[in-house]
Amino acid sequence: MSISNFRLRIADFKRAIRNWILRPSVRAKIMGIVLALVLLLGFVITWEARASMTASLLARLDERAISIARDLAAHATDYILINNTYALHELLTDSLRNNTDLRYAFILDPYRRVLVHSFDEGFPRGLAEQNPVATAARANVVVLTSDEGAIHDVAVPIFDGRAGFARVGLTEHSARAAVDELTRQMLLTTFAVSLLGVGAAYLLTLILTRPIRALVDVTHAVARGDLMQRMPPWGDDEIGQLSTAFNRMTSELDAAQRAMLRRQRELEALNAVANAVNAPAPLAETLERSLRALLDTLDLPAGWIFLLDGEKIQMTTWLGLPRDLGEREVATALHGCPCTIALTDKQSIVVAPLPERCPLRDGTLANASAIASHVTVPILAHATVLGVLGIASADAHAFSAAEVKLLEAIGQQLGVAIENARLWDDLREKERVRGQLLEKVIGAQEEERKRIARELHDDTGQAITSLMVGLRVAGEAGETESRARLNDLREIAAQTLESVKRLARELRPALLDDLGLSAALERYIANYRANFGLNTDLQMTGFRNGDRVSPQVELALYRIIQEALTNIAKHARAQNVSIVVERKTRAVIAIIEDDGRGFDARAVLDLSPEESGLGLHGMRERAELHCEEAVFADEAIPALQIRIDQVGDCFAHLPWRERKCQGKPLAMTWAE
């Protein structure tokens, strides 16, 4: 057999022994251990007590034998000296009668010949020689083996051996009987103690295994998913500590499971709302689908969404409740209701119980149950309240702090969706307006080309024709007439050149490219005063030491101011016009004011370009276009800020309206 096979067999043997030991139940193990220990301890104590008592009784037996032998020798001395054999025999008989365990006694003379003995059937052969004793010795003990068992033979010299020797033999029957009786009693005690130990072990195992069995049952219940099971209270011992630790563990598992289920529920709600929000649909349909998904996921009966439109409240979605309740809420604009905290303080509020003035007190849910509580959550986007989300329930304790946090997260999600939807609507509207403006611009360009063509044909073309005819006539005429004719032609050529320069300036001012915005505007304002007779004032600030902005911004500002001044000349009926152009670090602000009649700028901007014309729309598009170019190109192009104040009649100044263009400012201020 190889060493590896031997090791495998040893390992299998150890495994079998371990399985055999571990197979019985805890009760059997404890009872077996207690019984084995009690029996082992009883047997060991019995064996030790038996050995100790046997040695002690045999030592006492030897001492007693010596005492009997010496007493016999002392009494026999006189009888031996007077040779009174009868008295010696009577002495032996009395000794046997007084000592029940004395088996025999005899006396030897100095020559070790038997004088008297107590044997009825004759003196045994060789017994006298078995225990020789020296004359100077006190006594000598020898254990002899006989048919009756061990005999403790004691020899004592009489008168130092000169008178003879006395010998007695004592059996071990009484000592052995006493030891056997003690052994029997100890064995009976051991068995009694074993029974008591087994009983105590049974009670102990009953005490131990009952909580263990209960723990096993509770463990099986927990394994099946019932985390509400608890161990019954036990003592303060290790089992009680185990029960307490197990109950704490199940409580923590229950709390963890509840938190996990709550988190799963929250994720399901967020996912359902996200799926509803991301689906392509109009805003009202998106909000209704989102609210329905939220109610279905959280198993809630009713809800609503109100959106803010300026100072007004619009009911966008109303589910699970009579619609007239929502209309009453809109009619009151939430005034007098605690729900206004969601609008004013941007904080969620749980209303339970419902106040008397709450319209929801009169409503019932789909299952005909009354509304016991509701929560109102602000719909936020960039810290701006866009509306409120409301959820109602028949349970007064339905909305915990975790539920409110979930609804707040959904409110923010809805706010982002609403803002994105509105931005997409604005973008689509802007694209539509931009397309219309592009068509208008193309049409205007064609009209401008026609006008230029007409002017070139009517003015410049005719002037050049006149020059050609005049040159031919001058060539045919005399010297004096030719000189007069050439002077007329020079005048015609000068007028033609001035007309071409004027046309070029209108198309693209050369000063704007050569000297910058300040020079171009000053030239244009001078011509504007001459052409329209208006008192026009121009102030340029922030343009020092020939500093210029980008050509794109200069052209946009020039065209915007040109368009504004043209509109003033055509429509404002003004006498005084003021233009202020201020350059800042990241912006150029143009302010154009006049004392003519005003107009509703917001109303004009809300109209389509077909209805209102290109004026204000073109200005706004130019400004926003250059802001977007600055952002997307990441160049140091200042954003344009345009403020047009048409002051006149009874129109009041409006506050600034700021917009953000990907983090860079684009402020367009319109005043009515």
Q: Are residues 420 and 513 in the same domain?
A: no
Reply yes or no: is the peptide bond before residue 110 cis, omega within 30 of 0.
Answer: no
Same domain, 533 and 400: no
CA distance 161 to 168: 16
In-domain check, residue 477? no
| The total number of structural domains that make up the chain | 3
Average pLDDT over residues 435-452: 65
Which amino acid would we find at residue 247? N
Poorest-pLDDT segment among 403-412, 414-423, 626-635: 626-635
Place of tokens 């014309």: 613
Question: In the prediction, which pLDDT does 167 show?
Answer: 92
Please check whether residue 107 lies inside any domain of the structure. Answer: yes
CATH code of the domain covering residue 398: 3.30.450.40
Residue scoring higher pLDDT (9 or 40): 40
CATH number at residue 77: 3.30.450.20
Contact 248, 254 (CB under 8 A): no
Q: Which of 199-213, 366-380, 592-606, 655-669 has maximum average pLDDT?
A: 366-380
Is pLDDT above 80 for 1?
no
Q: What pLDDT sits at residue 474?
A: 65
Q: Please return the burial class of 143, using the count of CB atoms within 10 Å of its CB with bins 0-12, 13-18 and 19+.
A: middle
Task: Note whether 420 and 550 are same-domain residues.
Answer: no
Both 278 and 164 in one domain: the answer is: no
Domain shared by 421 and 551, yes or no? no
Over residues 516-539, mean pLDDT:
86
Question: Could you give the C-alpha distances from 32 to 183, 186, 208, 272, 499, in angstroms and in order?
Answer: 24, 21, 15, 63, 129
Q: What is the CATH number of the domain that holds 609?
A: 3.30.565.10
Same structural domain for residues 273 and 171?
Answer: no
Summary mean pLDDT of the chain = 76
Give the structural domain span for 128: 29-181
> Which span out of 153-162, 238-247, 380-389, 514-523 was modeled with the highest average pLDDT?
153-162
Last residue of a domain, one of 160, 181, 202: 181
Chain-centroid distance of CA 258 in Å reads 13
- Give burial (CB, 10 Å; 0-12/13-18/19+) of 642: buried
Beta strands 587-594 and 664-671 are unpaired
The last residue of a domain, from among 405, 427, 449: 427
- Is the pTM above the cut of 0.95? no
549 residue type, one letter: V
- Name, in order, each residue with C-beta under 8 angstroms of 166's C-beta and a sequence gap of 6 or more: 69, 70, 72, 73, 76, 105, 107, 108, 155, 156, 158
Q: Could you say which DSSP state residue 353 is in?
A: S
Q: With respect to residue 441, please indicate whether it lies within any of the assigned structural domains.
A: no
**Whether the Cβ atoms of residue 309 and residue 284 lie closer than 8 Å to each other:** no
Please give the Cα distance from 654 to 672 (Å, whole number).
7
User: DSSP letter at 459?
Assistant: I
Q: How much is the pLDDT for 515?
A: 75
Q: For residue 251, tell me if it sits in a domain.
A: no
3-state secondary structure of 39: helix
CA dist., res. 38 & res. 627, Å (int)? 100
Considering the domain architecture, whether residues 380 and 519 belong to the same structural domain is answered as no
Q: Are strands 535-541 and 576-583 parallel, antiparallel or unpaired?
A: parallel
**Do the domain assignments include residue 579?**
yes
pLDDT of residue 105: 92
Residue with more model confidence, 163 or 604: 163
Last residue in a domain, options 129, 154, 181: 181
Residue 321 and residue 177 share a domain: no
Say what the pLDDT of residue 654 is: 29
Q: Are residues 536 and 394 in the same domain?
A: no
Beta-carbon contacts of 548 under 8 Å, excluding residues fewer than 6 positions away, are 516, 517, 554
Q: Does 339 fall in a domain?
A: yes
Mean pLDDT, residues 213-231 taken together: 79
Predicted pLDDT at 553? 80
pLDDT digits (tens, 9 = 90+) for 471-508: 666 666 656 666 676 777 777 777 777 776 666 666 66
Residue 139 lies in a domain: yes
Cα–Cα dist 300/265, whole Å: 13
Question: pLDDT class for 291, splitting at 50, 70, 90?
Answer: confident
How far is the C-alpha of 167 from the C-alpha of 151, rounded, in Å?
Answer: 12
Please report, rounded to a whole number, the percentage of residues in the chain having pLDDT higher than 70: 75
Per-residue model confidence as pLDDT tens digits over 633-672: 333 334 444 444 433 332 222 232 333 333 333 333 333 2
Half-sphere exposure of 444 (CA within 13 A, CB side): 11
Residue 550, in any domain of the structure: yes
The pLDDT assigned to 661 comes to 31
Same domain, 274 and 410: yes
Question: Integer distance in angstroms from the first to the last C-alpha of the chain?
Answer: 112
Higher pLDDT, 632 or 518: 518
